[in-house]
Structure 1
Amino acid sequence: MNRIVQYLFVAFLLVSCTSYSQEYHLKFKDTRDLQKFLTWSPSRVPLVSCHRGGPVPGFPENAIETFANSTKHQPSVIECDAGLTKDSVLVMLHDDRLERTTTGSGDLNDRLFADLKNVRLKDNDGKVTRYHIPTLDAVLKWGRDKVLFTLDIKRGVPYQKLIDAVRRNRAEAYSIIITYNANQAAEVHKLAPDLMISASVKNRADLERLNSMGVPNNRIVAFVGVAQPDRSLCDYLHSKGIFCILGTMGNLDNKAKAKGEDVYSGLIEAGADILSSDRTEECGRELLKYSKKKGLKSTNVVMAGK
């Protein structure tokens, strides 16, 4: 009997270790494969976009280690932020200043990259971690065949410099460039007509303006805001083959926390396709459950053992 118990215990450990070591990966062969994945159909797989990479206690925002932790829980769109050092190195940092998220101080634009090498990142509780500020190059190299990035730039960073980094790292097949107005979207499309663009679309007129400025529907992922989505707008965008990103960070995340995680699946039912959340694990868990219930699958979503 003791031997049987031992065997069962070992089997339990093996199963536990196997499940823990697995990650959800998003893989795309090329930009055409990504564009196909992001062309809406009723069988599309809804995804969570990990706002600032999905920080949780012990894992700070905009860190590769945090991105990797997110992939343990769900297929991950990684929303992250690139700022520019004094010597023109693109690094991952949301704020203009260093104090909130790092052990450093001052404006990022006033600091040389060499000055940042010993700076450590803080998590959202203000606890210092062992992690350091990564460069955008390092992030893009890490992300291949793992995640889909939505890349944001901070004030003063030219889009051309961001696009150059995507090109340099051959990351076109797993990168979406975030823009906030039609002029920015048109600029990015002119600079890189093969790349996908996250564009703000709050009504039909916004999409018509994007189209009139030369941005085609098959390059657009529509950010529809941070409130309950307008179903008629989502239906209209879907009829054009366009995915809808809904920002749940803030009020909608709070609503899900208070009323239950099925709020997230309700938002998908209401027309959203990607939820940009600060509650990455909870949102991702609900979307996995929703996809399983609806039988939604994609060859671009794979399980990988470490």
Structure 2
Amino acid sequence: MNKLFLLSLFIVSSLSRPATAQEKLHVISVKTAKELHRFFQYRPGNKPIISGHRGGTEKGFPENSIEAFENTLKYTQAFYEIDPRLTKDSIIVLMHDATLERTTTGTGKVSDYTYEELKQFKLKDVNGNVTPYHIPTLSEAIEWARGKTVLNLDKKDVPMEMTAALIKKHQAEAFVMVTVHNAEQAKFYYEQNKNQMFSAFVKTPDALKPYEDVGIPASQMIAYIGPDIKPDNQVMYKLLHAKGIRCMISAAPTYDKLKTKEERAKAYRAIIEDGADVLESDLPIEVGEAIGSLRR
């Protein structure tokens, strides 16, 4: 009788799972740096790529958490822009803010705590609800991502020397890229590793030349051109696409803020139809639903 009851409970539980979630992860499978370069290279007719800003901000899944990364891949293929920060004892953890209050149960600066001390705090989701999840280290995120997706490391307070060394330590050049805000930052990383992939700030035609002048290959860049649709983007698309460089729009500070899911979906489709190849969003699952027909 107990066995029959447990079997019935299992069947009911299985049927009650969200129908939209996929048990199989939608992975980005790249095994070498050259494969990574080819994955991001622009070609006419390319399928658009989704970037989860801070890993995504779904209810119940905190930003910059491995649990959020994993949850998104159940619904859609995506790579992740994440935020490394240093603890008091020089461990690199994932945290967007310099302080703990908004996204954890802690208070004060991240840099005032050792990693062991940070373990006592739990992460909050986008609505401020406390979750069971804890602050991950960048090393943990890198090892989780291997064979599943690509990580894009934003520039916070971690010295570039430490970032480059950690990528090398984990032999992660095939699936870890770095955000650079100028050509000098790109030059530093390129001198450390000739295979390094970049997400580069290139918002105007003149902003591309400094990267070319320091020798950054076009095949190792995607270009962040801004947060919205505007006529000037057409100039950027023509210039960068001619060089094989994909263009990224980030909806995080703009279209992600629209009130309804329908409004957001319309905006996401418009971004891709306007010419963008990479769409960064706090809501990567919604983006996947909205542009699904454009990715086939």
Letter in 1 for 2:122: R
- Is the 2:246–2:278 contact (alpha carbons within 8 Å) kept by the matching residues of 1? yes
For 1:150, give the aligned amino acid: N
In 2: Cα distance, 1:38 partner to 1:145 partner:
16
8 Å contact from structure 2 (residues 100, 107) kept in 1: yes
* 2:255 aligned residue (252, 255, 267): 252
Distance in 2 between residues matched to 1:191 and 1:239, nearest whole Å: 28
Scaled by the length of structure 1, the TM-score of the pair is 0.86
1:288 paired residue number = 292
Q: Residue 34 of structure 2 aligns with which residue? A: 32
Q: Distance in 1 between matches of 2:277 and 2:41?
A: 11
Counterpart Cα distance in 2 of 1:162 and 1:54: 22
**Contact 2:21–2:75, Cα closer than 8 Å, also in 1:** no
Compare 209-218 and 89-98 and name the one that shifted more: 209-218
The question of whether the paired residues in 2 share the 8 Å contact of 1:247 and 1:277 is answered with: yes
Aligned to 2:7: none
* Count of aligned residue pairs for this structure pair: 283
Local SS of the residue matching 1:224: strand
Question: C-alpha separation between the residues in 1 aligned to 2:147 and 2:274?
Answer: 30
Q: Which residue identity does 1:56 align to in structure 2?
A: E
Query: Which residue does the alignment assign to 2:227?
Result: 226
Paired with 1:290 and 1:15, the residues of 2 have a C-alpha distance of: 27
Instruction: Give the drift of 1:182.
Output: 2.0
Counterpart check, 1:203 vs 2:204: yes
Q: Deviations over 1:213-260 (max 9, x none)?
A: 222212211010112151121121011000111111122223584635
Task: After superposing the two structures, state which structure 1 stretch, 233-242 or 243-252, moved more.
Answer: 243-252
Distance 2:199 2:250 in 1: 12
Query: 1:16: how far off?
Result: 7.9
In the alignment, which of 129, 139, 142 is matched to residue 140 of structure 1? 142
Deviations 1:58-83 (A, max 9, x none): 11110100100010111011111000
Query: Which amino acid in 1 is paired with 2:284?
Result: T
Corresponding residue for residue 129 of structure 1: 131
CA–CA distance in 1 between the matches of 2:125 and 2:263? 27
Letter in 1 for 2:188: E
Residue 96 and residue 16 in structure 1: after superposition, are their counterparts in 2 closer, same or farther (change >3 A)? closer
Distance 1:265 1:107, change over 3 A: same
Secondary structure, in 3 states, of the residue corresponding to 1:237?
Answer: helix
Q: 1:178 Cα deviation (Å)? A: 0.5
Q: CA offset at residue 20 of structure 1?
A: 3.1
Q: What does 1:88-237 correspond to in 2, within 5 Å?
A: 88-155=90-157, 157-228=158-229, 230-237=233-240
Q: Does 1:263 align with 2:263?
A: no
2:25 matched residue in structure 1: 23
Moved more, 139-148 or 260-269: 260-269
The 2-side partners of 1:85 and 1:262 are apart by 41
Shift of 1:153: 3.0
Contact in 2 for aligned 1:47/1:287 (Cα 8 Å): no
The structure carrying a bigger strand percent of its residues is 1
- 2:276 is paired with a residue of what secondary structure? coil
In percent, how many aligned pairs have the same letter?
35
User: Structure 1 residues 43, 145: CA separation in 2 closer, same or farther (over 3 Å shift)?
Assistant: farther
Structure 2 Cα separation of the partners of residues 17 and 250 of structure 1: 30
| Matches of 1:191 and 1:81, distance apart in 2 | 21
Give the conservation status (yes or no) of the 8 Å contact 1:97–1:108. yes
The answer (yes or no) to whether the contact 2:255–2:264 under 8 Å persists in 1 is no
One-letter code aligned to 1:276: E
Partner of 2:8: none
Q: Who is 1:243 aligned against? A: 246
CA RMSD of aligned residues (A): 2.3
Alignment partner, residue 68 of structure 1: 70
Q: Which amino acid aligns with 1:115?
A: E
Would the aligned equivalents of 1:48 and 1:287 in 2 still touch at CA under 8 Å?
A: no
Are residue 279 (structure 1) and residue 280 (structure 2) matched? no
Question: Which stretch has the larger CA shift, 56-65 or 105-114?
Answer: 105-114
Unaligned regions of 5+ residues in structure 1, if any? 1-8, 293-306
Relative to structure 1, is the Cα distance of residues 258 and 286 closer, same or farther in structure 2, using a 3 angstrom cutoff? Answer: closer
